[in-house]
Structure 1
Amino acid sequence: MTVAFHSSVVLGFRRRAATMALKADVNGRALVSATWVNENRSSIGVVDSTWHLPHENRDAAKEHQTKRIPGSIFFDIDKVANLETGLPHMLPSAEFFRESLQALRIDVKRPVVFYSANCFVGFARAWWTFRAFGIEDVYVLDGGIEAWIAAGFPVDATEDRDEPDAEAEVPAVLRRESFVRSLDDVGKNIDTQKELLVDARSPAGRFDGSMPEPRAGMPSGHVPGSVSLPFTDLSQNNTGRMKEPADLQKLVEAQGIDVKSTKSIVTSCGTGVTGAIVSLALFELGVNSAIYDGSWVDYVA
């Protein structure tokens, strides 16, 4: 007997097979190279999630229009966020997140790779956000767009960009609360110390109170019991590429962070962006960590 398969079913089989092959190829890591992205362009989605600090007076969305990986989509962590709080880029509701991906036509049924134009700032947060909603098949381009350019791959510099070919049906998602910590959680942990809070703010003087915060009027210092691991220490000579796992292991151990401990790790920073870079580094070492979403701006408010 001959069985006829609908073309959409065949496409689904092919996509799942391709995804399984890609997962095996990256060997459980989140970081991928520019060459890997280029070789798998037909099987993945590429997303620019660059973010700049307010005082830098730069427009990441506008910059994307004139310098981007061909076919990439811009994801704004300030807009795909909880817009009803006074804190910046906090995690949105599950439904708003799903609707946003639908509007942006980001296809989560295939692997998604995030990149940034300024080292890890922005794309680590986007990577973590997707995982916080149960979307695990997500990766980050090590070194960002500069690594892409250095590898000799093309950049689209035209202001007019093509829209994605078709709408992407985004299934319902659930926010995983285990990925997030609140002010109440952090406050309780000061007494219990059941979790280790790792502060990613850079330079370290913001942690010990010897240097000011970049936001006017905000005091520096740290949450009692937390440890400092500046996110800038995680890159290879500030190239935007993450240090190798062996070097990351030495670095976190030097800061008193035991990745083999049963104590959970929570990362923090100024507003929950660069803390995601530490979470990304820990993931490369095989450790999942939560993020104190409001971070320092929430703690000192």
Structure 2
Amino acid sequence: MSPLITPESLAAEQVTLLDVRWRLGGPPGIEAYREGHIPGAVFCDLEKDLAAPPGVGGRHPLPSAGDFQAAMRRLGVSAGRPVVVYDEADSTAAARAWWMLRYFGHPDVRVLDGGLHAWVRAGLPITKDVPDLAGTAATASDSNAGAAGAAGAAGAAGAAGAAGAAGDFMAVPGGMPVLDADQAAELVETGVLLDARAAERYRGEVEPVDPVAGHIPGAVSAPTGQNVEPGGRFHTREFLSERFNTIGAVPGVSVGAYCGSGVTAAHEVLALEIAGISAALYPGSWSNWITDPTRPVATG
């Protein structure tokens, strides 16, 4: 089954729907959620629900299984109900939620291709109503926004599905392959390690977030921005397969991905899966790599 879902297909399904809008440096995604979201969606906070506090593990280290399980249950996630995650457009933040749920054992998680922008372009409604865990909605002063009318919004809310009661998801780690720093260093010798950051950060020309610029020696630059079309939807399977094949990521070769803190690298893993290539994620990524001054740094 494809890890992606179209707006039209989502509107016809009953799922748990998570809004994972987030931008590095802000503003907080909850503000955008309150301005309007897909009917039935609940807000998932990347910083609080999909990461542990920053530290030696990096800026967005993996949370414990217990903490992640509690967060997902609070958001209404259950193992027996499909989950769809989305963000504003390019699926960068949504891919982190997709990867986390897969890693902790959820069997049916998909990403809304093109995010909220694609939903709106499809003529589907948004709302300010916030589902509660009893399956009802707390109505905002302006319950529906966008071009569609109130009747259309009600229909989409029923199709997409609200969070409903608190979930019963049990988090069991190990559902997706991961790398630590030593394994990432080994992979450049035995396979292909992809750096998902922008090319100028890979080269060490700029570093807007972390205190050290550059990349893991031997890693290959593969910016996630090239995984999607200008509107935010993923390129086709054939396009992505050719893209990754040309830089050495082919079926049968061990492939890993990292970025600054493990967020955009999840987007790379998702794009690789669309292309039919399995890949491991280095969750700590560059922000973890540079915590040890003995680890080498490359530029250029």
Question: Counterpart amino acid of 1:30?
Answer: P
Q: Distance in 2 between matches of 1:109 and 1:66?
A: 30
Secondary structure of the structure 2 residue equivalent to 1:79: helix
Is residue 2:34 matched to residue 1:65?
yes
5+ residue gaps in structure 1?
Answer: 1-27
Give the structure with the higher percent helix: 1
TM-score by length of 2: 0.81
Stretches of 4+ aligned residues off by more than 3 angstroms: 187-190
1:45 aligns with 2:34: no
Looking at structure 1, the residues matched to 282 and 103 of structure 2 have their Cα atoms a distance apart, in angstroms, of: 12
Task: Name the count of aligned residue pairs.
Answer: 260
Indicate whether 1:174 and 2:172 are aligned: yes
Indicate the RMSD between aligned Cα atoms, in angstroms: 1.8
Superposition TM-score, scaled by structure 1 size: 0.81
Percent identity, aligned pairs only, is 32
Paired position in structure 1 for 2:249: 258
Matches within 5 A, 1:84-233: 85=55, 87-156=58-127, 158=128, 161-164=130-133, 165=135, 166-176=164-174, 179-190=177-188, 193-202=189-198, 204-209=199-204, 211-215=205-209, 218-233=211-226
The amino acid of 1:179's aligned partner reads P
Partner of 1:140: helix, strand, or coil?
strand
Bigger relative contact order, structure 1 or 2 (CA pairs below 8 A, ≥6 apart) = 2
CA drift at 1:247: 0.9
CA contact (8 A) 2:74 2:167 kept: no
The separation in 1 between residues aligned to 2:207 and 2:61, in whole angstroms, is 20
Question: 1:142 and 1:223 mapped to 2: Cα distance?
Answer: 30
**Structure 2: gaps spanning 5 or more residues:** 136-163, 292-300
Give the CA deviation at 1:198.
Answer: 0.6
Q: SS of the counterpart of 1:124?
A: helix
177 and 104 in structure 1: CA distance in 2 versus 1, 3 angstrom threshold: closer
Per mean C-alpha deviation after superposition, the further-off stretch among 114-123 and 80-89 is 80-89
Cα distance per residue 1:112-158 (max 9 Å; x no partner): 111101422200111001011111300001100000000000011x3
- Verify the 8 A CA contact 2:195 2:223 in the aligned structure 1: yes
Cα separation, 2, equivalents of 1:241 and 1:177: 26
